[in-house]
Structure 1
Amino acid sequence: MQDAFSVIYHVRSTPKEIAGRAEAIALEQSVELPRAAVRDPHIVENILARVESIAPLGDNLFEVAIRLARVTTGDEPAQLLNMLFGNTSLQEDVLLVDVVMPDEMLSAFVGPRFGVTGLRALLGAEARALTCTALKPQGLSSAQLADLCRVFARAGIDLIKDDHGLANQSFSPFAERVARCQAAVEQVNAETGRRCCYVPNLIGSPRQIADQVRICRELGVRVVMVEPMLVGMALMHELAADNSGMAILAHPAFGGALRIAPELLFGKIFRLFGADAVIYPNYGGRFSYSQQTCKTLAENLRRPWGEVKAAFPVPAGGMQVDRVQEMLDVYGRDVILLIGGSLYMAGDALLERSRAFVENVQKGFVA
């Protein structure tokens, strides 16, 4: 194959059977036929996947690299995912771990439109770490959510996003909520000179999301949030390719439903398909990711990768205000710290706690 890329899997198997398992994955992810049934020389030479390498990892676990033809992906997000892990995702003994693509293949996908540098410019924060919080809980009216926006904007939080559970419910309909929250943040920005952004959640059918995008554009929204695993990664890619002038914050909801390593799914695939910043479960919170997983994921979002812009890591999930310095020490300045519940626990002192969060980030020393 002249134009190909590599896909890495972890496969549970015995040493005796691993060569056959690897060959079966190559067939499943390319021609989906027994090898003997593939007689066309062109397909054998240019389409049929090849087992590139097999390496033992211990305890009947092996790393298998498969070489796939780029032409089979059509340079299209959904088909790329299909070729990476379509039918093989149904096999419980296989984990998709990584993908290695040449630069010319990477350039076929839009990647982040803003990225780290663009988001910093948008928010007027050229050097420090950024701050984020979420509007909670479900059940609040649009007016109540707008009041929270005012509090958080006065505290100086950079990104004030909808909780991922906020959609188009009767208690806070999308159009009404976005209009009220956007106006609230703009009002405070006019008073303070800051550039805080309200981040509405886009969720629903493709037609509904198209209407939500229109509303956001009309209201001057600059950053939106999507859950790619719920609404579709191809949809996020299309939104980024549309170059709407709105940055994309990707949320990981439903991301644990597949056997894809989070370092790949959140750290590389979301970035490739257009996320400017990616929320993921941080270590030491409500979820079970290790510190090393989180650090590798963050590095995958920020490291040089062809012409694909770097994206912000957004560690989240039960983070406490008193862990700000720890997070800065672990992640450095190119990070967005997302804290929700720890702020709300302050009750009537929400503004003061939120200001303390912002101040801690601004003064935090990074080794």
Structure 2
Amino acid sequence: MVGITYEDFLDLGYDPADSDLVCEFYVEPATDQTAESAASWVASESSNGTWAELQVAGSVTDLSATACGITEMTVPGREDRDAYRVAIAYPDALFEPGNMPQVLSCIAGNILGMKAVDRIRLLDCDWPERLATSFPGPQFGTSVRQDVFDAGDRPITATVPKPKVGLSTEQHAQIGYEAWTGGLDLLKDDENLTDQAFNPFEDRLTETLAQRDRAQDETGDPKSYLLNVTASGREMLERVDLAAEHGCEYVMVDVVTAGWAAVQQVRERCATHGLAIHAHRAMHAGFDRLPDHGVSMRVLAQVARLCGVDQIHTGTANLGKLANEDTVGINAWLYADRYGLRDVLPMASGGLHPGLVPELVARCGTNIGVQAGGGVHGHPDGTHAGAKALRAAVDAAAAGRDIETAAAETPELATALEQWGTETPR
């Protein structure tokens, strides 16, 4: 029997089954392709098709993806191009349960380099229950705000020592102490600080936690540390074990650069210790910055939730230094019920300072984390004052109080507003 051809992957009348994974793509067909043929190529290449007509005995169409929707669309700056939103339905049998690398190899693999399309971007996924629940999801999610910090109705707060690399272990731990005693909840390693000679991993772990304990004793408030355990697989798991041994509540993983298989391993190991996972998204813009190609941050966040992170950076609702992002929409997906999987706490970071906090909370609500690096350590009076300013701004915004009124009561906040106003840094 002659095998399936590209036309067999197109059925605009197909109503996806509840068990199908339905993915939506932005597609610009190549000049020699129609919308229908380009959509067929995408469905074919991401399931069981190939460029040649096959001579295969028996039916293989039960594993075929189906291009089941094509809608014209535009992307700002590319209005002159023919572009379409294409829905592809993938049968459940295509996927190995609980194997995120395999899933992504299907829906965001070879198709991103196909000649049949000039541009293609994975925009969104509608995950079916059987596939979604084959992943563990988060252990804690947004509950960390209460369970770890007893934060009430306010966002939790965090900072990263700056410069992000180059500080000694002693300097790093001291900055943590100043930030914690200034009122912040979390100290976070940055994405490229792991185990370098100027600040070795194990020394940083023990010395920073000693300052954490000191700050907790002095303030009476819970404090925690987001320790970057990113490394090769075995080493990363050993670092998770060390973090638990020394009393960390969290570990941090650079989820994109480490890879989703590694994230799944970390999630499994963290479950044995009761540790939460903070996801740094370094390298995400290599996939999601271009609006007409790659993989959206929305999808990356979905994958992170399924794999089991508890917190993830989702942007600043266009208030900070990073390129435009659908922060509010991504956050809504992270909060929404997904077959009983726990939610995820979005972290707002990237160019934030106290003057931006009221608008950030207005756009994103209080069920978030607010992280500022330069917006704390760049305070004219230093880290401790910068931490007090950020915390005062967060408390005021959560309580619905005007930031100028709060500044009249907190000199450190008044100084921050004089320094940065309410302007967005570039």
TM-score band by shorter chain is over 0.9
Amino acid at match of 2:122: L
Larger Rg: 2
Structure 2: how far apart are the matches of 1:103 and 1:162? 35
- Structure-2 change in CA distance of 1:180 and 1:365 (3 Å): closer
2:315 to 281, 306, 327: 281
Tell me the CA shift for residue 350 of structure 1: 2.0
Structure 1: how far apart are the matches of 2:187 and 2:229? 14
Q: Is the 8 A contact 2:145 2:152 kept in 1?
A: no
Amino acid at match of 1:189: Q
Moved segments of 4+, more than 6 Å? none
Gaps of 5+ in 1: none
Q: Is the 8 A contact 1:106 1:307 kept in 2?
A: no
Aligned to 1:359: 392
Q: Is the 8 A contact 1:47 1:72 kept in 2?
A: yes
Aligned to 1:249: 278
Tell me the CA shift for residue 38 of structure 1: 6.5
Q: Is the 8 A contact 1:159 1:198 kept in 2?
A: yes
Amino acid at match of 1:177: R
Q: Is the 8 A contact 1:329 1:366 kept in 2?
A: no
Is 1:98 aligned to residue 98 of structure 2?
no
Q: Is the 8 A contact 1:197 1:222 kept in 2?
A: yes
2:45 to 5, 9, 28: 28
Greater mean alpha carbon deviation, residues 300-309 or residues 253-262: 300-309
1:314 to 347, 352, 366: 347
Aligned to 1:210: 237
Amino acid at match of 1:63: R
CA shift digits 1:263-306 (9 cap, x unpaired): 2213x12112111111133213222114xx12112212212222
Tell me the CA shift for residue 164 of structure 1: 1.2
Amino acid at match of 1:33: T
Aligned to 1:48: 64
Amino acid at match of 2:127: M
Is 1:88 aligned to residue 111 of structure 2?
yes
TM-score, scaled relative to structure 2: 0.81
Matches within 5 A, 1:1-367: 3-13=19-29, 17-34=34-51, 36-37=53-54, 39-44=56-61, 46-58=62-74, 59-75=81-97, 76-91=99-114, 93-137=119-163, 138-242=165-269, 243=271, 244-258=273-287, 259-266=294-301, 268-282=302-316, 283-290=318-325, 293-365=326-398
Aligned residues: 363
Aligned to 2:416: none
Amino acid at match of 2:73: L
Tell me the CA shift for residue 89 of structure 1: 2.1
Greater mean alpha carbon deviation, residues 309-318 or residues 86-95: 86-95
Structure 2: how far apart are the matches of 1:37 and 1:15? 23
Tell me the CA shift for residue 42 of structure 1: 4.3
Structure 1: how far apart are the matches of 2:146 and 2:262? 25
Q: Is the 8 A contact 1:143 1:180 kept in 2?
A: yes
Amino acid at match of 1:24: W
Q: Is the 8 A contact 1:136 1:162 kept in 2?
A: no
Amino acid at match of 1:140: L
Q: Is the 8 A contact 2:136 2:308 kept in 1?
A: yes
Tell me the CA shift for residue 118 of structure 1: 3.8
Tell me the CA shift for residue 71 of structure 1: 2.4
Tell me the CA shift for residue 328 of structure 1: 0.9
Structure 1: how far apart are the matches of 2:34 and 2:372? 47
Q: Is the 8 A contact 2:378 2:386 kept in 1?
A: no
Structure 2: how far apart are the matches of 1:101 and 1:42? 26
Q: Is the 8 A contact 2:319 2:356 kept in 1?
A: no
Structure 2: how far apart are the matches of 1:100 and 1:41? 31
CA shift digits 1:177-211 (9 cap, x unpaired): 11111121022112322111011112221122122
TM-score, scaled relative to structure 1: 0.93
Tell me the CA shift for residue 359 of structure 1: 2.1
Q: Is the 8 A contact 2:153 2:398 kept in 1?
A: no
Structure 2: how far apart are the matches of 1:97 and 1:255? 14
Which structure has more relative contact order (CA 8 Å, sep 6+)? It is: 1
SS in 1 for 2:382: helix
Q: Is the 8 A contact 2:172 2:208 kept in 1?
A: yes
Aligned to 2:422: none
CA shift digits 1:218-270 (9 cap, x unpaired): 1111111111111111211222233131111111111111211112213x121
Structure 1: how far apart are the matches of 2:58 and 2:43? 17
SS in 2 for 1:203: coil
Q: Is the 8 A contact 2:366 2:398 kept in 1?
A: no
Q: Is the 8 A contact 2:346 2:369 kept in 1?
A: yes
- Structure-2 change in CA distance of 1:213 and 1:40 (3 Å): farther
